[in-house]
A and B are shown apart, each in its own frame.
Chain A
Amino acid sequence: MKTIAEINDKIKKGKAVVVTAEEVISIVKEKGLKKAAAEIDVVTTGTFGPMCSSGAFINTGHSNPPIKMQNVTLNDVPAYAGLAAVDIFIGAAELSSTQGMQYGGGHVIEDFIAGKDIKLYARSHGTDCYPRKEILTTINKYNVNQAYMYNPRNAYQNYPAAINSTNKTIYTYMGTLLPKYGNITYSTAGELSPLINDPYYRTIGIGTKIFLGGAIGYVSWQGTQHNPSQKRGENGVPTSLAGTIAVTGDLKDMSTRYVKGARYHNYGVSLFVGIGIPIPILDEEMLKYTTISNKDIYTPLVDKSGNETYDVSYNYEQLRSGSVEFKGKQVLTAPLSSLPRAREIANTLKDWIQHSNFTLSEAVTPLPREDKIHKLEIREMK
Chain B
Amino acid sequence: MTKEKIKIYYTKNQLSRPITYELVKKFDVMFNILHADINYGSEGNLITEISGQDKNVRDALKYLNEVGIVYKKYNKFIIRDEEECIDCGACTAVCPSGALTMNKQDELQFDKEKCLVCELCIKACPIGVIDVEL
Q: A50-B126, A176-B124 are in contact. Are A341 and B86 (CB under 8 A)?
A: yes
Q: Contact at A272–B93, with CB atoms within 8 Å?
A: no
**Chain B residues, Cβ within 8 Å of A339:** 87, 106
- The stretch of A215-223, A303-311, A330-338 in contact with B is A330-338
Task: Digitize B99-126: 1 where CB-to-A-CB distance is under 8 Å, 0 elsewhere.
Answer: 0011001110000000000001001101
**Chain B residues, Cβ within 8 Å of A261:** 127
- The stretch of A90-98, A263-271, A360-368 in contact with B is A263-271
Q: Contact at A185–B93, with CB atoms within 8 Å?
A: yes
- Which of A49, A176, A337 interacts with B93 by CB under 8 Å? A176
Q: Is residue A260 contacting chain B, with contact meaning CB distance below 8 A?
A: yes
Q: Contact at B86–A264, with CB atoms within 8 Å?
A: no
Task: Digitize A332-376: 1 where CB-to-B-CB distance is under 8 Å, 0 elsewhere.
Answer: 101111111101000000000000000000000000000000000
Task: Digitize B64-98: 1 where CB-to-A-CB distance is under 8 Å, 0 elsewhere.
Answer: 00000000000000000000001111101110000
Measured as residues with beta carbon below 8 angstroms from the partner, the interface class of chain B is 10 to 19
Q: Is residue B128 contacting chain A, with contact meaning CB distance below 8 A?
A: yes
Q: Is the interface of A mostly helix, strand, loop or mixed?
A: strand
- Which of B92, B123, B127 interacts with A262 by CB under 8 Å? B127
Q: How far is the CB of A266 from chain B (nearest CB, A)?
A: 8
Q: Contact at A334–B93, with CB atoms within 8 Å?
A: yes
User: Nearest CB to that of A265 among chain B residues?
Assistant: B123
Q: Most chain-A CB neighbours within 10 Å: which of B93, B94, B123?
A: B93
- Which of A176, A320, A340 interacts with B94 by CB under 8 Å? A176
* Cα distance A322–B103 in the bound complex, in angstroms: 9
* Cα distance A208–B7 in the bound complex, in angstroms: 57
Q: How far is the CB of A220 from chain B (nearest CB, A)?
A: 26
Q: A264-B126, A320-B106, A322-B101 are in contact. Are A175 and B90 (CB under 8 A)?
A: yes
Q: Most chain-A CB neighbours within 10 Å: which of B107, B124, B126?
A: B126
Q: Contact at B106–A337, with CB atoms within 8 Å?
A: no
User: Nearest CB to that of B123 among chain A residues?
Assistant: A265
Q: Contact at B126–A341, with CB atoms within 8 Å?
A: no
Q: Contact at B126–A335, with CB atoms within 8 Å?
A: no
The B-contacting residues of A in range 167-210, CB under 8 angstroms, are 175-178, 183, 185
Q: How far is the CB of A258 from chain B (nearest CB, A)?
A: 10
**Chain B residues, Cβ within 8 Å of A211:** none
* Cα distance A260–B87 in the bound complex, in angstroms: 13
Q: Is residue A48 contacting chain B, with contact meaning CB distance below 8 A?
A: yes
Q: Contact at B90–A340, with CB atoms within 8 Å?
A: no
Q: How far is the CB of B37 from chain A (nearest CB, A)?
A: 14
- Which of B86, B90, B105 interacts with A48 by CB under 8 Å? B86
**Chain B residues, Cβ within 8 Å of A336:** 88-90, 93
* Cα distance A265–B119 in the bound complex, in angstroms: 13
Q: How far is the CB of B128 from chain A (nearest CB, A)?
A: 7
Q: How far is the CB of B46 from chain A (nearest CB, A)?
A: 21
**Chain B residues, Cβ within 8 Å of A265:** 123-124
* Cα distance A261–B94 in the bound complex, in angstroms: 21
Q: How far is the CB of A305 from chain B (nearest CB, A)?
A: 16
Task: Digitize A227-266: 1 where CB-to-B-CB distance is under 8 Å, 0 elsewhere.
Answer: 0000000000000000000000000000000001111110
- Which of B93, B102, B128 interacts with A175 by CB under 8 Å? B93
Q: How far is the CB of A159 from chain B (nearest CB, A)?
A: 14
- List 28 A-B pairs, Cβ < 8 Å: A175-B90, A175-B124, A176-B93, A176-B120, A177-B93, A185-B93, A261-B127, A262-B127, A263-B128, A264-B126, A272-B86, A320-B106, A322-B102, A332-B93, A334-B102, A335-B92, A335-B102, A336-B89, A338-B87, A338-B88, A338-B89, A339-B87, A339-B106, A340-B86, A340-B106, A340-B107, A341-B87, A343-B106
Interface residues of B (CB under 8 A from A): 86-90, 92-94, 101-102, 105-107, 120, 123-124, 126-128
Counting from the closest, the 6 A-B pairs by CB-CB distance are: A334-B93, A339-B106, A262-B126, A335-B89, A265-B123, A334-B92
Instruction: Other than A176-B124, A262-B126, give 4 A-B pairs with Cβ distance below 8 A.
Output: A175-B124, A178-B93, A178-B94, A341-B86
